[in-house]
């Protein structure tokens, strides 16, 4: 295990990957992590089109060859025919984490009724956590604020690097250990 956390950040967008517009979503995730984490981390950034084999290959590469214990994706989770990020995520994960998608949809639903169209999920590949976020920068922050308090303990449980957060941004929650008996 390296001494700084490696975090994969994958923007999945046909247009951003072709340079038709600048990717704002990946940088929004990096900005959130920089603000939220006091633990040093190395972001591994990718911008790829909505091609399922490429998404799967990128996720596998970040986890298996680059030792990312956390990978966050943005984009490709809606109902448009090109949106296949959840299917690619499920294909590379051996265990799913349904609570992430449920909570992100419930939180977004307070803002927009179309939150139910978000198909985002999360899952585990070996000892790594992969989380789908929505594509829009505003929704990214809202979803990260909701789920990130649980992320450091999840990484702990998989024996990954200890992530510490700035409590004024987001409080990592770690259930107290049982008192020694």
What residue ranges bind a copy of itself (CB under 8 A)? Answer: 78-81, 83-84, 86-87, 95-103, 105-106, 109, 112-119, 121, 124, 126-127, 129, 147, 149-150, 153-154, 157-158, 173-175
Q: What order of strands is seen across the sheet that includes strand 95-96?
A: 41-48, 5-12, 70-74, 128-133, 122-125, 95-96
Closest distance to a copy of itself from the beta carbon of 115 (Å): 7
Which residue number, 4 or 157, has a Cβ lying nearer to a copy of itself? Answer: 157
Task: Give min distance, CB of 64 to a copy of itself, in A.
Answer: 15
- Nearer of residues 61 and 153 to a copy of itself, judged by Cβ: 153
| Cβ distance to a copy of itself smaller for residue 45 or 149 | 149
CA torsion sign for 160, 5, 35, 121 is negative
- Specify the residue for token string 């959130």: 32
Nearer to a copy of itself, 33 or 129 (CB): 129
Retrieve residue 165's tokens: 């957060």
- Residue position matching structure tokens 């490696």: 6
Distances (CA, A) of 117 to 2, 27, 78, 113, 149: 38, 24, 6, 9, 24
Least gap, CB of 20 to a copy of itself (angstroms): 13
CA distance 19 to 13: 10
Closer to a copy of itself by CB, 45 or 136: give it: 136
> Closest separation between CB of residue 154 and a copy of itself, Å?
5
């Amino acid at each position: 295990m390296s001494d700084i956390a490696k975090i994969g950040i994958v923007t999945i967008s046909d247009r951003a990957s072709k340079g038709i517009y600048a990717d704002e979503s990946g940088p929004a995730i990096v900005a959130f992590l920089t603000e939220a984490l006091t633990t040093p981390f190395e972001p591994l950034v990718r911008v790829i089109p909505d091609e399922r084999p490429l998404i799967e290959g990128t996720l596998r590469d970040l986890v298996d060859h680059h030792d990312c214990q956390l990978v966050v994706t943005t984009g490709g989770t809606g109902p448009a025919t090109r949106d296949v990020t959840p299917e690619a995520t499920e294909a590379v994960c051996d265990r799913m984490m349904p609570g992430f998608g449920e909570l992100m949809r419930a939180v977004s639903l307070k803002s927009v009724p179309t939150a139910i169209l978000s198909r985002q999920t999360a899952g585990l590949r070996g000892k790594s956590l992969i989380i789908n976020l929505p594509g829009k920068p505003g929704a990214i922050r809202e979803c990260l604020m909701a789920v990130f308090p649980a992320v450091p303990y999840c990484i702990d449980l998989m024996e990954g690097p200890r992530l510490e957060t700035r409590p004024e941004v987001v409080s990592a929650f770690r259930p107290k250990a049982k008192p020694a008996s």
